[in-house]
Amino acid sequence: MSPLINAVNAESKLVINSDGGSRGNPGPAAIGVVIATPDGRHLESFGKYLGEGTNNFAEYSGVIAGLEAASKYHPNEIQFLLDSELVVKQLNGQYRVKHPDLQPLYYKVKKLTEGYDISFEHVLRGKNHLADTEVNKALDEAAHNGI
């Protein structure tokens, strides 16, 4: 393994901005994820087109993708920053997840967070613009490709 990968894998805490959105609700949906260190060192960012979905489906999918991507860095602690107040409150146990389509996603997030010291925090859209940019790039690319 290269020294850079070893150094990255040694990160004990990650900050992940995730976002999900759809054009229409439901409509074409995508996610965006930005992974960094607490001091702001960018590790990776990506977007992914999901197909048809709701905003909340996309938000949960962004958290799941962020968790799956973070696993290769072997962090002890993850701070998630999302602009969906609903999803944050659901993941923090303040609101119940009532919609049957979201319940499997909620449980998948809970399973993926086992073993991490994790927090989910709500931020305003302006503080989540890099993840939002990834969402829009994925949606624009899908539209351009006729998907």
Question: What's the mean pLDDT when you consider all of the chain?
Answer: 93
As given in the structure block, the two tokens for residue 17 are: 């901005």
| Residue 93, burial from CB neighbour count under 10 angstroms (0-12, 13-18, 19+) | exposed
d(CA 94, CA 6): 37
| pLDDT reported for residue 30 | 98
| pLDDT reported for residue 91 | 98
pLDDT of 137 over the 50 cut: yes
- Taking only the tens place, the pLDDT of each residue in 82-92 is 999 999 999 99
Percent of the chain with pLDDT over 70: 93
pLDDT confidence band for 10 (50 / 70 / 90):
low
Q: Residue 84 in 3-state DSSP?
A: coil
pLDDT of 44 over the 70 cut: yes
d(CA 69, CA 35): 9
State whether the Cα torsion 97-138-9-72 is positive or negative.
positive
| pLDDT reported for residue 33 | 98
pLDDT of 146 over the 60 cut: yes
| Residue 43, burial from CB neighbour count under 10 angstroms (0-12, 13-18, 19+) | middle
**Domains identified in the chain and CATH numbers:** 3-137 (3.30.420.10)
- Taking only the tens place, the pLDDT of each residue in 65-110 is 999 999 999 999 999 999 999 999 999 999 999 999 999 999 999 9
The DSSP symbol for 124 reads -
The DSSP symbol for 131 reads H
pLDDT of 11 over the 60 cut: yes
The distance of Cα 65 from the centroid of its chain, to the nearest Å, equals: 6
d(CA 58, CA 84): 10
| pLDDT reported for residue 9 | 53
| pLDDT reported for residue 8 | 47
Residues in the chain, overall count: 147
pLDDT of 5 over the 50 cut: no
Strand duo 42-53 + 77-82: pairing: unpaired
